[in-house]
Amino acid sequence: MIAITGGGTGGHLVIAKAIKEELNQRGIKAIYIGSNSGQDKAWFEHDEGFEQKYFLESRGVVNKKGIQKLLSLMTIVRSSFTCKALFKKHNIHAVFSVGGYSAAPASLGALLSRLPLYIHEQNAIQGKLNTLLRPFSKAFFSAYDTSATLTSYPVSESFFKYKRERTHLKTIIFLGGSQGATFINQLALKMAKILHENNIAIMHQTGNKEFEAIQKFYETEKIPADVFAFTTNMAQKLKEADFAISRSGASTLWELCATALPALFIPYPHAAANHQYYNAKTLEEKGLALLLQQNTIDEKILFEKIKYLDLKKMSHELSTLIRVNGSKEIVNHILKESTC
Ligand SMILES: CC(=O)N[C@H]1[C@@H](OP(=O)(O)OP(=O)(O)OC[C@H]2O[C@@H](n3ccc(=O)[nH]c3=O)[C@H](O)[C@@H]2O)O[C@H](CO)[C@@H](O)[C@@H]1O
C-alpha cells in the first residue's frame, strides 16, 4: 500500500490526483494524508479513489518567526507520530510526497518509520521542505533538474487528448491558477474592450472571490465572455483557446505544454523564491512563451505583441517538451522498488 501526501494549493494537489488515478488504473488504492487547512479537503474529502483520507493539523513554517515557528514545528512533529501509526495500520510500503507544508508530517513520518520516501518537485526552484528532505529520499522527480531520478511531469492524459496546433488568434483564455489572481483579473478587464473590438473571444477563470463582480462587468459592458470561477474540466477549456494569459504555477504551465497552447506568463511575484518567474523562464528562454513581470505591463502594447506572435511554431514546439506518460513513469518507478 502507498501513502500520498502533500497539497495546500491546486498545483500540488493535481500531482497527488494524477498519481492516485494511475494507481487506481492498476487496481491499487492509496491512502491520502494532507492538512486540515488549505485546499486539501476541498479536493479530496469526498474522493472515493483513496482507500482512506486523513487531514491532519499542519502549518507552514517558512514564513513564521520566533514562537510561531516553534509552535508550527511542534505541530508537525506531533502529527508525524500520528502518521507513523497510520502507516502501520494501513501496512504502508512507500510514501509519495508532492511537497508543501501539508506534506511535512507524513514525510517526516516516513523517515521515522524507515519507509522509502519519493518526492515530486513541481517548480523550477526547489521548495524548502523538498530541499531538506531530498537527501533522505529514495527518489526525487523534477521536470527541470537533469540530475533528478525522472524528469517527467505528471499531467493528466485529458490534456494530451485535446492537444491542437494553434495557427490563428481567435480566443484568449485568462488563467489565475487554482485560486484565481487579482492581477490577471484586472488585466483581463482592461483588455476586454480591445479584444472584443478585434473579434477575439474571451475566456476568463476568475477564482471564487472575484467571480460575481467580474461576471457583472462583462454583462454591463455587453462583452460576451466565458467567465467561470473554477472548472473541473480545464483540459476542455484550454482546447478552445488559442492563447493564454496566465500565472506561471507549475501545473498550469505543463498543462499548457500538453495542450500545445502558447502563453504569456505573468508570475505571481510573491511566490517563494520567485519560483513562478523561473518556471516561466524555462519556456521563455526557448522562445516558446512571453514572460512579463506584472509591474511592467501596458495592455495596449501587450495586445500588439501578442497579435504578431508565431503561434504555429510556438504551439508545435511546446508539445515536444512533455511526454504523455509522466504519471505512468513515476508509478512504474515506485512499484518496481516497493512491494506494495
Ligand atoms: C500562489 C502560489 O504559491 N502558487 C503555487 C501553486 O499554484 P496553483 O495552485 O495556482 O497551481 P498551478 O498553477 O500549478 O496549478 C493549478 C491547477 O489547478 C487546476 N485548475 C485551475 C483552475 C480551475 O478553474 N480549475 C482547475 O482544475 C489547473 O488545471 C492546475 O492543474 O502551486 C504551484 C505548484 O507547486 C506553484 O507553481 C505556484 O507558484
* Strand 139-142 relative to strand 117-121, pairing: parallel
Establish whether residue 102 lines the binding site of ligand 1, counting it when its CB lies within 6 angstroms of any ligand atom: no
Q: How confident is the model at residue 340 (pLDDT cuts 50, 70, 90)?
A: low
Note whether ipTM > 0.95 here: yes
pLDDT, one tens digit per residue, over 267-325 is 999 999 999 999 999 999 999 999 999 989 988 899 999 999 999 999 999 999 999 99
* Residues β-bridged to residue 34: 55
Mean pLDDT over all residues of the chain? 95
Q: With a 6 A CB cut-off, is 268 part of the ligand 1 pocket?
A: yes
Pairing verdict, β 50-56 and 290-291: unpaired
* Homologous superfamily, domain 158-321: Glycogen Phosphorylase B; (3.40.50.2000)
Question: What percent of the chain clears pLDDT 90, i.e. is strictly above it?
Answer: 89
Question: In the chain, where are the structural domains located?
Answer: 2-154+324-337, 158-321
The pTM for the full model equals 0.93
CA distances from residue 59 to 12, 37, 84, 198 in whole angstroms, order as listed: 16, 8, 18, 47
C-alpha cell at 308: 504578431
What does the alpha-carbon distance between residue 95 and residue 311 come to, in Å, rounded to a whole number? 41
Q: Is pLDDT of 190 > 90? A: yes
What is the CATH class of 2-154+324-337? alpha beta
Contact 283, 254 (CB under 8 A): no
Q: Give the pLDDT score at 63.
A: 73
Helix/strand/coil for 230 = coil
Q: What is the pLDDT of residue 39?
A: 93
> What's the burial of 208, exposed, middle or buried (CB within 10 Å: 0-12/13-18/19+)?
exposed
* pLDDT at residue 339, as a whole number: 62
Average pLDDT of the segment spanning 209-225: 98
Q: Is 199 left (phi over 0), alpha (psi -120 to 50) or beta?
A: left
Mean pLDDT, to the nearest integer, of 170-175?
98
pLDDT score of 22 more than 80: yes
Is there an atom of ligand 1 within 6 Å of 303 CB? no
- How far separated are the first and last CA of the chain, in Å rounded? 5
Which distant-in-sequence residues (6+ apart) come within 8 Å of 162 by Cβ? 235, 236, 238, 239, 259
Q: How confident is the model at residue 46 (pLDDT cuts 50, 70, 90)?
A: very high
Residues of the binding site for UDP-N-acetyl-alpha-D-glucosamine: 9-11, 123, 178, 276
Average pLDDT over residues 146-163: 93
